[in-house]
Structure 1
Amino acid sequence: MLNRHVKLIRLILKNEHHYLNADEIASYLNVSNRTVRNDIKYINSEVYSELIVSVKGKGYQLNKTRYTKQALEQLLDKQMINEDNNLIKLAYQLLMSKQSVTLNHIAEQFMLSKNEINDYIRRIQEWCDTYDVTLKIVKKKGITVSGNEMNIRNAILHLNQLTHHDVSIEDFIISEIPKAHREVMVHSITMHLNHHGIQTSQIRIQQLLVHLIIIYKRQHESNESWVINQEAHGIAKSIIQDINQKLKYHLNEETSRLFSFFISYYFEKYELGFNQIFIQSYIDRLIYQMNIKVNVDFTQDKLLRENIYSHFSRTYLRITKNIYINNPLTEDIKRQYPFMFNALYESVEYLELDAKINLNEDEIAFLALHFQSSLDRNMQQKVNIVITCYYGLGISSLLEAKIKNLNDNITIVDTLNIEEVPNYTFSNIDILITTHDIDDSYIPKDVHIIKVTPLFSDEDKSKIKSTLKQIQNPIIKNDALSSVEVTVQSDFDKSLKMIDIFKESKNTLDKQHAITHDYIETALEREKFSSTYIGNLIAIPHGNPEYVLKSNVMIYKLNHSISWKQYEVKLVFFLAIAKDDASIMKNIIHNIAQLTEQDVHHLIKLDDETFKQKIIEHIKK
C-alpha cells in the first residue's frame, strides 16, 4: 500500500458522515481524478475489501455496513506500524550495505510491488538528503548509497525520523544481530569496564553496543586519530579481542581505536587542555548572542552557564570528530519551543562564521532545553513599585503589606508623600500606586499609574493584578504590527510544492524591495538544515533577519496539503522579519505554535480577509 493510499483512507475516515467527490479527494492528494478512481479500486480489492462505497451523484464514503470507524483505525494503525518498520528496515539495509542492493532483492525480501518500492525509495531519498547522503538507482546495478562516512552513520542513528510512531532506533539496531551474539558483546563490554573500576548502567552499555555494531557493519579505514585516552584504548582493545575470540569475528585495530573514542566520551576519560579556553569563549559568546535574540539577560544565570559548560565540553569533543548522537526529543522541542530553537539556530549560525563549529539540529535542541530551563526559572519579570499616600505612615504600611502579598515578584522600592512625587526619579520603576489624583506630567510615560482606595479593596487588587499580567506577559499592541506587511495567498493549483512557496515569497519580497538578494538562500539553507515544520499542519520558513529590509509575513492558505520534507502542511507562515522587529518575531512564532490541527482545518475554510483578521487577532494575544 502506498503512502498516498493511507492518506486517502484517513480522509474518508475523517469524513465518515459526508460524501466526498473525486475532485475533492484529488485536490487533497494532489493527483488526478483518474488516479483517485484507480486508488479506490486498488484499496477495495487489495487492501480492505469494499472499504469505500460509491453513490452516483453523491461521491465516495466509508462502507459503514462492513466497517466501523474504530475498527478501521485500529487496522490502519497496525498496518502503518508494519509499513513504517519495513521502511526503517529497508533504509537501514541500504545505509549499512557497502554494495548496491537490487530492486528484485527488495521486492522479494519485503514482498513489495514496483510502485511500492518506488514510493519507499522516494521517501528514504528525500530524508537522506537532509544528511547529505545520496541514494541512486543505477541501471542494472540497483540502489547505491554515497556520502561522507560520518554522515551515513549519523543518518543511521536517526532512522526513527522516517516514522511518526514511537520507534527506538537503538533497539532496532541491536535487534539486527543474533541474541546470543548480543549477550556475549554486552557481557564482554560490562566485564572489561568493571575490571577497570568503571561503574556503568544498562542504558550506557546499550549506547556503546549500538556504536560498536555500526562500526563493525560499516568498517571503514580512516586517517582520523580516534585515541584520546590510552586507558580507554586499552579497554577497547580487550573488548574487541574478547569478542573476536568468542564469536569468531574479525574486528580490526581500526575498530578498537574508534570504539575507544566512545568509551572516552561516555565515561569522561579525556583532557580538553587548551580547548577549555576556546569552549569557555564560545559559551560566553553564545550566551551574549542569546541575550540579544531573546531579549533576556541570561548572563546572570550561573546555573545555566555551568550546565552548558558541562554539556558543551563533551559535545565539542564529538563534533570535532564529526560524530553526532540521536536526540529523541528534537522534534518535540522544536514544536514546543520553536522560538528558542530558532534563536539558538541563528546564534549558532552567526558564531559558526569564525568559530568553525557546525552544530546540527539535535545539538541545538539539547542547548534549547538549557536556555528554556533558564527562562522558566527566571521568566517572571520583577516588578518595581512606588507607593504615594496622602494619609501617612499607617496607611502606607498597610498598602505595602497587602500589595507585596499579591505576587512574589513585586518589590516595593519606596513610599512617598504626595509632595515628593514631582522631584522623584522614577528610574526602573514599573508602577506608581497612589491614593489620590496626581499630576502625571511628572511621571515617565512607561510607568503605570494606579489609583487605589486607602483600605485596598478587591477591585484595587484586581487592577494591580491586571497590570502585573500586562507587564510580565506583554501582548503585541495594535500599532506594533504596523511595521509588518501581512498578506494572505490561496487558490493554488494541485501541483504546488515546497520550493514554490520559496519562489513565490521571493517574488513578493523583491517587488516590495523588502529583502537583499541573499535572503531566500538563507531561508533555503535553514530549511535544509532543520525543517521549520512545527506540527499541526504548520510550517514557519524564515531566513537570516540581517538580510530583511522591511518585515513581511506571507501566509499561504492551502486547500490541499503539500509535502514539507516528511510532513504534510496546510498553513505556511513565511516570516521575513527584520532584525529591529525581533520582539515581534518572538510573539508571532510563540502564538502560531499554539494553533491546533483543528484550528488549522477551521481557518483554511474562511475567506482570505476573515482569515487574515483572525490570524492577526491570534498573533496579538
Structure 2
Amino acid sequence: MDCLEMALIQDFFQKDNIVIDKIIASKLLSQVDLATHLKEINHTLNSKLAVEDEQIYLSEKDREKCYRYLKKKKVTIFTYYEGEYRRALLLLHLLLSKEDMNLAELTDQLLVSKNTALAEIKRLKQELEVKGIFLKYSRKTGYTLLGSEFVIRNELVNTLKNMLKQPSGRYFLLETGFVEEHELLLLKNRLTNLQKKAQLTFTEESLEELPIILAFLIQRSQHHRSAWHFKVEKYDIKNTKEFPMYAELFRHVTDLNENDLLYLVLQVLSATIVKTKLDLSDSEDIVKATDRFITFLEEECVMQFSNRESLKEKLILHLRPAIYRCLLCVNIKNPLTDVFIEEYRPLYEKIKVGVGIFEELIGRSFPKEEDVFIAMIVISSMIHTKKAAEEQVFKAMVLCRSGMSISKLLLENLRSMFPKIEFVGAYAIHEVSQTGFEPDFIFTTIPIHTDITTFLVPPVLDKEAREKIKNQVEVAINEDVTKKTKELFSYLSDLFPEFCKEDAFMRIESFYMKDEQPKVAVKEDHFLLTEDHLTVIQSADLDDALTQAFQPLIDRESITESYVEMCSLIFRQDYPYMMIAYECYLPHAKPEYGVLKPDYQILLIKDKVQLPNKDSMQLMVALAPSVENQHVEWLLKLNQILLETDLQRMLNTVESKKELFSLIEQELNELIG
C-alpha cells in the first residue's frame, strides 16, 4: 500500500462522512484514481468502504479495521488534533496525569506550538470558571485544577460523552494511554452479565459508552485520593436492592472510597435502557406522575393513544435513568434536539408543559434534551394509532444505535410512510443475527454490510429526507424482480385459486426476465470449538501453565515466541484484571505483538495454581486476538457459560480433553438453543 493510500486511510478513519470532491481536491486526484485507491484499500483491509451520494461512508467495523491497520503499520494515528480534541486532551491530562503538567509537557501532548497551547489553556480556563472549576498555575507545580470534585467528575463525564460522539472519538481516548483495552473488555463483560442479573437491557450505545466512561472515572478516583462528598437528594441509592449488584462491577478496583463507588454506580444507573423487569426504586411517585402526565396529554392536548399502558411503561423506563442524570447534573447528548423541535414544534411545546409534572416531583428542571426524548416517546405512541389500510407486501426492520426514544420514533414514521411494508421492529446492530429474520428491506441509521436491500436514513425524517427515501424504495422495488413480483402478485392474489398460486407467482417472476441476486443475511464470525483447542493437565506452576497454554498456538503457527513473552510479561503485571470468571484467567496482548492469525487454547489445571495474590486459577484461556474483533463475541459466550451455568463445578470431574470438549459444547449448544 502506497503513502497516498495510507494518508487516505488516516482521513477516512478520523472523519465521519467524507465528501469525495474535497478528497479529490486536497489529494490532487481524479475520480478514477480515487476509485482505484479505494478498491485497493478495501482489498487490503478486507473492508467495504461505500460510496453514496458523493460521499464515502464507513461502518463502525471498517473504522475499527482502519485503526488496527494503522496501529499494525506503526503509523501515527493522530498527526494533528482539531480544537475539540485538543480541549479534551488538555482536560484529561490535567485530571489524570500522575504529576502536575507544565507548559512544555502540555505543548508536547497537544502537538501544537507554545502560543497555541497557551491559547487553548486560556480558553479552557474561561470555560471551566463558569462551571466553578479553576485552573491555577505555579512555577513549582505547573497547572492544577481546583474546585468541587463532584463538578470536576461531571465535567470529565460530559467531555468523554462528547468525544464518543465524534467519528474517531473512541480511538482518540484509547490513544491517550489513560485506559487499556483489556480494562474495557473486562467492564463490558461485566455490564453484559449485569443485564441478566438486574433484568434489564442497555441500549447498544450505552453498552459501548459505559466501559470507557467507567474506566476513566476509575483512573480519576485513583489519581484523586483526597476525601470528597456529594449529596443525592431524596434517593438513598446505597440502600436500594440494585446497589450491591452494580457495585460488583468494580470489585477489581482497590481503594475506592464510598463516594467513588457511589458515583460510579450512578453512572450505570443513569445509562439509557431499552427494557427492564425490575420496579423503579421509589417508583410509586413516578407511576402516579406518569399517570398525571398521560391524562394531561389526553385531556389538555386531546391526544389519543392506542395503548395507554404501553406508553406508560416506555415513559417510566426512560424516566428512571433520566432522574439519575438530573441528580448527577449530567446532560445526556441528543444530537437530534434542534432538528426534532423544528419538525414537531407545536407538539413539543405542549408536551414540554406536561413534563413540568416530573420536574415538580424531583425538584429539578429537565434539560431540553430530556424533554425531547420524552416527546419522542409520546409522538411515536401517537403515530402508532394510525392503522395501515393497504395490504402489507414486504417485510422490513429498522437498525439504530440510538436509544429507545429515537429508534421507536423512526420506526413509527417509516410505518406511516410505507403502508405496504410490515416493519417487524427496531433493533440494535448486534441483535440482527438473533432475530432469525430475513427482511426484504433494512432501514438503518449507520452503514452496515449486507446484501439485503438497505437504505441509510437519518434518525429524524424531515420533508426532504422523506421524499428521498420514498424515491429510493420505489426504485429498489422496480429494479428487483422478486420484489416487483411480490407487489404485483399481492394485487392479483385473490384472482388465483389456492392450488395454482405458487405456479402463478413463478410465471409472473419469469415474465420480468431478470435474475434475482441471492440474499446474504448479516452474519457474525465466531471461533470454532474443537478438541485441539483444549488441554487438560494435572498440575503446573504459573510458568508451566503459560507455556502449556500457548504452546499449541505456536505449533499451529498462530503466534510468535515474542507474543508469548509479551503475554507472560503483561499477565504477571496485570493478572487480576484478566480474570473473566471465577478462577479463570485470560492472558493476551495486542495483535501487533506477534499474532499471525486469530486463535485460542483453553487449559484446564486439575490441581489449581496459586497466584501471587493467593487467588486460585483452574482455567487459563490463551488468546491470540483478531484484529477484526472476531474473538469478542466468542469471549462473551465463554464468559456467559462460565458465570451462569454449572460448568465450573463440573470441571472437577473432567479427566480428558474429550470430556472437557463435550462439557463445553453442551453448555454452548444450550446457550444458543
Give the TM-score normalised by the residue count of structure 1.
0.39
Give the TM-score normalised by the residue count of structure 2.
0.36
